[in-house]
Structure 1
Amino acid sequence: MLTLNWNIIWTFVNILILFFFLKKFLFKPVTEMIEKREELINNSLQNAEEVKSEAFKLKEEYEGELSHAGDEASKIINDAREKAALETNRQLKETREEAARILQEASKTIELERQKSIQNAQAEIAGIAMLAASKIINKNMDDDANKQFLGDFVKEVGASK
């Protein structure tokens, strides 16, 4: 016949009781802790992905701004070159106009000096002619008559040119 060994039954019951205690006090808290840890890791991974995508967006924006800044710098440089060229042309034009004005003034001054020289030469010639005429005539006229005679003489000399 079969005999029942109570030791085996008690061992089996002890194992079952131990299993329920372990399940209640060890497995359940450990499982909850593992689930929390898994959730924390998943959230961290999700946040990392969001940060990574945001970083890529920022990188693209900065690259776009950098490209735009390069274009803007090129535009500023080109504008500065154009302004410099315009200013150079304006200054050259002013310089040419000033040179033309100076040449015109110099021509006027030369013409005035020439006229003065001609008048001085005419006056000297008239004086010499008067001196020669007075020696020839042997008479000396008064100053008013000299001036009238001189004027007539200069007119004749000027008309003969």
Structure 2
Amino acid sequence: MLNLDWNIIWTFVNILVIYFFLKRFLFKPVTEIMEKRTQTIEDSLQDAEDTKLEANKLKDEYAAELSHADEEAAKIINEARDRATSEYNRRIKETKEEAARIMQEASKTIELERKQSIQNAQAEIAGIAMLAASKIINKNMDDSKNKEFLGIS
């Protein structure tokens, strides 16, 4: 018949008790710690991925802003260049107009001085001619000839 060995049964019972004891006090806490650790690692990896995505997004935004800043700087430089060219052309035009005005005034002054010189010369020539005529008349004519010259008898 069957002979049961109580040692085997007690060993089996001891093994079951140890198994449940270990399951309750060792395996379950270790498993929870490992799950928490796994969750912490996954959270850290997700945070790192989110941070990486945010950094890439910021990098793209900064690159776009930098590109926009370069375009803005080029636009400002072109506007400044256009204003400088416009100012240069305006000043050249003003200078040419001023030079033309000065030349016109100088021409008028020269013409006026030339007319005055001609008038002065004519006046001097007339004065000299009168003086010469009076000297000639005084010298060459006496009273009778003056009366005869004037048509007085």
TM-score by length of 1: 0.79
**1:92 alignment partner AA:** I
SS at match of 1:138: helix
1:113 matches 2:113 = yes
CA distance in 2, matches of 1:13, 1:45: 45
1:9 matches 2:9 = yes
**Offset of 1:43 from its aligned partner?**
1.5
Corresponding residue number in structure 2 for 1:52: 52
**Offset of 1:15 from its aligned partner?**
2.2
Q: Superposition RMSD on alpha carbons, in Å?
A: 1.7
1:33 matches 2:18 = no
CA distance in 2, matches of 1:112, 1:78: 50
**Offset of 1:7 from its aligned partner?**
3.5
CA distance in 2, matches of 1:138, 1:36: 148
**Offset of 1:122 from its aligned partner?**
1.4
**Offset of 1:120 from its aligned partner?**
1.6
CA distance in 2, matches of 1:34, 1:56: 32
**2:128 alignment partner AA:** I
CA distance in 2, matches of 1:11, 1:137: 181
1:12-61, Cα deviation, whole Å (9 max, x unpaired):
32222121111111111111111111111111222222221121111111
Corresponding residue number in structure 2 for 1:157: none
SS at match of 1:86: helix
**Offset of 1:8 from its aligned partner?**
3.4
**1:36 alignment partner AA:** K
Q: How does 1:66-81 map to 2 (within 5 A)?
A: 66-81=66-81
Q: How does 1:71-150 map to 2 (within 5 A)?
A: 71-138=71-138
CA distance in 1, matches of 2:85, 2:45: 59
Q: Which moved more, 1:3-12 or 1:32-41?
A: 3-12
5+ long unaligned stretches in structure 2: 140-153
CA distance in 1, matches of 2:80, 2:93: 20
1:69-112, Cα deviation, whole Å (9 max, x unpaired):
11111111111111111111101100110010010011011011
Corresponding residue number in structure 2 for 1:158: none
Q: Which moved more, 1:2-11 or 1:34-43?
A: 2-11
**1:79 alignment partner AA:** E
The structure showing larger relative contact order (alpha-carbon pairs under 8 Å, at least 6 residues apart) is: 1
